[in-house]
Amino acid sequence: MSKISVLGAGSWGSALGLVLAKKGYEVSLWTLNEEQANKINNARENIDYLPGIVFPNNIKVTTCLEESVKDSEIIVLAVPSQAIRSVSKQIKPFVKDNQILVDVAKGLEKGTGLRLSEVCKQELPNNPYVTLSGPSHAEEVAKDIPTTVVVASENLEVSQRVQDAFMSPKFRVYTNPDIVGVELGGALKNIIAFGAGICDGLGLGDNAKAALMTRGIREIGRLGAAMGADASTFAGLSGIGDLIVTCTSMHSRNRRAGILIGQGKGLEETLKEVKMVVEGITATEVAYEMADKLNVDMPITNAIYSVLHKGSNPNEVIIELMMRNKTHEMEEVVNDKLGF
């Protein structure tokens, strides 16, 4: 079998490396941390992120980017969203035009508001690009618990090649031509998951969370449509599917961070406790700016932004949300042209 490079040895990169290794691919798993590389290679386990999961011998961990991407059919970008540009720049001298880039990060670039496909196109314009998204906690994927995801690209043939590479009895992969919608669904749901965590931290019930998720997917679809996405995409795996799993599971770092904020902890203390990148924090800031620029109504996003960046009291923000001007639900469906 051919070689696939996975850049990023966190939980998600490691889990996808396991999926590919079980299919017989030679997997080169890259990490910047030499100590981590040695620990995984020696123990055959990523103790820090996926304890108890045995790594097969066809996963080789390296700290050398050139070695990792050399002769790889596919390069999986499994680093945090804000590192996509820097890593793309670093691999540029070693990458050939026929190598497919598969981005599995879910976010928007801070400062530019660009989707990650747009970032990669700026840095590696000649490489085919695919995004992989959907309801997929690494902890469950690594344990072979059935999971479904979606891949999107401007080129259907490239999407299908990636679909074939990842597809297994425990990891089902769909294709979708709407790369804008798939990327935005994966990025924006983290905002709502953060809000769901705040609700849990405040001790609110199932009613509040159901309302948040339902109104949240409408916000996601509204901004997505304004940015050129197909609204129907948000009714699929990268939209409502990813939203459900991220808002309800303790595997979700965004929800866990929101819980701590709801319990009264500060942002810095929260990030120290979670110990992983919380994509929803940056996504909230970028979406807030994009909504303002495009004149899109996103009250939940605005409320979470207010809590994170203006020091607003979550309980007071919830009252403000509840007491907004009256409206008609089905009228919104027609006006937003979302169809759901």
Of 225, 232, 280, nearest in space to 252 by CA: 280
Instruction: Say what the pLDDT of residue 332 is.
Output: 61
According to the model, what pLDDT value does residue 259 have? 94
pLDDT at 103: 98
Q: Please check whether residues 101 and 220 belong to one and the same domain.
A: no
**Confidence label for 328 from pLDDT (cuts 50, 70 and 90):** confident
pLDDT, residue 105, reads: 96
Q: What is the pLDDT, as a whole number, of residue 175?
A: 98
Distance CA 121, CA 128 (A): 9
At 116-149, the pLDDT tens digits run: 999 999 999 999 999 999 999 999 999 999 999 9
Output the pLDDT for position 333: 60
DSSP 261-318: HHTT--HHHHHHHH-S--HHHHHHHHHHHHHHHHT---HHHHHHHHHHHS---HHHHH
Res 274: pLDDT: 86
Final residue in a domain of this structure, among 150, 177, 204: 177
Q: What percent of the chain has pLDDT over 90?
A: 89
Does the active-site annotation cover 310?
no
Instruction: Check pLDDT > 60 for residue 340.
Output: no
Residue 337: which pLDDT band, with cuts at 50, 70 and 90? low
Q: For position 1, what pLDDT does the model report?
A: 67
Clarify whether residues 10 and 101 are in a common domain.
yes
Claim to verify: residue 128 and residue 160 sit in the same structural domain: yes
Q: Which residue has the higher pLDDT, 89 or 266?
A: 89
On whether both 58 and 170 belong to a single domain, the answer is yes
Residue 124, pLDDT score: 98
Q: Which of 177, 205, 234 is the last residue of a domain?
A: 177
Question: Does position 302 have pLDDT exceeding 90, yes or no?
Answer: yes
The CATH number assigned to the domain holding 326 equals 1.10.1040.10
Phi then psi for 272, rounded to 5 degrees? -65, -35
State the pLDDT confidence band at 277, using cuts at 50, 70 and 90.
confident
Closest C-alpha to 76, from 115, 18, 145, 141 = 18
90 shares its domain with 193: no
- Are 131 and 235 within one domain? no
Distances in Å between the Cα of 250 and the Cα atoms of 67, 151, 184, 260 are 36, 25, 22, 12
**Mean pLDDT, residues 33-46:** 94
CA distance 165 to 19: 10
State the pLDDT at residue 331.
Answer: 62
Give the residue carrying structure tokens 């910047």.
32
CATH number at residue 74: 3.40.50.720
**Domain C-terminal end among 146, 177, 208:** 177
- State which residues form the domain around 275: 180-336
**By C-alpha distance, which of 256, 248, 253, 184 is closest to 217?**
184
Active-site annotation holder among 189, 265, 275, 337: 189
The model's confidence at residue 13, banded by pLDDT at 50, 70 and 90, is: very high
Q: What is residue 275's predicted lDDT score, i.e. its pLDDT? A: 80
**Looking at the structure, do residues 131 and 162 belong to the same domain, yes or no?**
yes
What are the phi and psi torsion angles at 183 (to 5°)? Answer: -65, -45
Is residue 339 predicted with pLDDT exceeding 80? Answer: no
Do residue 124 and residue 160 come from a single domain? Answer: yes
Task: Say how far apart CA 84 and CA 300 lie, in whole Å.
Answer: 27
Q: Could you please report the per-residue DSSP string of 307-332?
A: HHHS---HHHHHHHHHTSPP--HHHH
For residues 259 and 198, the answer to whether their CB atoms sit within 8 Å is yes
What does the alpha-carbon distance between residue 130 and residue 158 come to, in Å, rounded to a whole number?
7
How far apart (Å, rounded) are the C-alpha atoms in residues 14 and 7?
A: 9
Residues 167 and 215 in one domain: no
Helices (H), the chain: 11-22, 34-43, 65-69, 84-91, 116-123, 138-142, 156-166, 179-202, 206-226, 242-248, 253-262, 267-274, 279-294, 299-309, 314-322, 329-336
Distance CA 258, CA 270 (A): 8
Highest-confidence segment of 181-185, 270-274, 327-331: 181-185
* Average pLDDT in the chain: 94
Number of domains in the chain: 2
Ramachandran bin of 229, using left for φ above 0, alpha for ψ from -120 to 50, beta for the remaining angles: beta
Distance CA 195, CA 183 (A): 20
**Residues 45, 185 within the same domain:** no
Q: Is pLDDT at 273 greater than 80 in this prediction?
A: yes
Mean pLDDT across 88-97: 97
> 223 in helix, strand or coil?
helix
Same-domain status, 160 and 216? no
| One domain, residues 22 and 58 | yes
pLDDT of residue 202: 96
58, 221, 234, 332 from 239: Cα distances, Å: 34, 8, 4, 18
* pLDDT for position 203: 96
In this prediction, residue 168 has a pLDDT band, given cuts at 50, 70 and 90, of very high
Share of the chain above pLDDT 70, in %: 97
